[in-house]
Amino acid sequence: MPQTYFSERLRDLALSDARVPRGKLAADVGAGTGFITTGLIRHGLKVLAIDESLPMLRVLRIKTLSISDLCFFIGCAERLPVRKCTVEYVFANMCLHHVSHPAAAIGETARILNEGGTIVVTDLDAHAFAFLTEERADRWIGFKKSDVQA
């Protein structure tokens, strides 16, 4: 899916904007099969990969069998299974438009973040392709940047 729906350039930009230093701990919310997680690992971070889908995390687990700096959590973005003030970075790529309560999900990213940490949300801009809510598991037709920031 990343190859057709969003590109590696997005991941490169997200990681370079966040200036992720080696050795830090990041959460990847809605990690799926690990598009962002594997990028973070390559940059030398430790990662908590969180997703509500066991099949997705199974695929990621198989891809990363030899990697030790990675933990898997089945959980919901609106109620993350992580203690407050745990991670230095939270990434959520193409997850927000799937969740029922995006504001709660963003609130959760802030809760698990250490003081001075960074949240990187990459998702769809507001768009007019409402059929995606019927043909895919999309719940939201993208977001206005101002709403995400608010």
Q: Which residue intervals of 82-123 are DSSP H helices? A: 102-111
Instruction: Pick the closer one to ligand SAM by CB: 46 or 57.
Output: 57
List the end-to-end C-alpha distance of the chain, in Å, as a whole number: 29
Q: Which of residues 46-75 bind ligand SAM (CB under 6 A)?
A: 51-53, 56
Would you count residue 108 as binding ligand SAM (CB under 6 A)? no
Instruction: Pick the closer one to ligand SAM by CB: 61 or 78.
Output: 78
Helix (H, G, I), strand (E, B) or coil at 149: helix
Would you count residue 30 as binding ligand SAM (CB under 6 A)? yes
Q: Rounded to 5 degrees, what are φ and ψ at 59? A: -60, -45
- Location of structure tokens 């973070």: 40
The Cα–Cα gap between 145 and 125 comes to 7
Residue among 24, 64, 88, 98 that touches ligand SAM (CB under 6 A): 98
User: By the criterion CB under 6 A, which residues form the site for ligand SAM?
Assistant: 2, 30-32, 35-36, 51-53, 56, 76-78, 93-95, 98-99
